[in-house]
Amino acid sequence: MKIDQEYLKGLLEAFESEKEPQTDIEKLSEKGFDPRTNTFVFHMRLLNDRRLICQSDGTPGFGLQESADGQFHWAVLPLRLTADGHDFIETLKNREVWSTVKTGFKDASIGTLVDVSKRLFDGFLQKKIDNILGS
């Protein structure tokens, strides 16, 4: 399965938009992310693999258990974005970064997306700082 960048960004935004310090799969479902779909499971696994999300106490995992017959079973756990998760969504919300990622890195892995978006964002920030300082 390939990464759906729009879905990934939307999922991160759903985490970030929560009014409480944590969310869970039920709240994510209310925001349009169905935990019964392969797309949801795939993208949550990627976020978990990169430690962009975790349980509210900091431990990895997001409540998914898969049986031998491929059925998903959920424990509703309090989940949150990690500091790295907040950093990643900050970079993706930058118009220039998002445009560049969508056009120049369509088939990139999650690691590449995180790395490239951070480097692009750092570059745009440096330009802004240079303009402020008149450099």
pTM over 0.95, yes/no: no
Topology of the domain covering 5-82: Arc Repressor Mutant, subunit A (1.10.10)
Would you kindly state where each structural domain of the chain is located, as residue ranges? Answer: 5-82, 88-133
| pLDDT of res. 33 | 97
| pLDDT of res. 72 | 86
Tell me the average pLDDT of the chain. 94
Q: Residue 71 — very low, low, confident or very high, per pLDDT cuts 50/70/90?
A: confident
* Rounded Cα distance, 115 and 15, in Å: 20
Residues 11-37: pLDDT tens digits? Answer: 999 999 999 999 999 999 999 999 999
Residues 116-130: pLDDT tens digits? Answer: 999 999 999 999 899
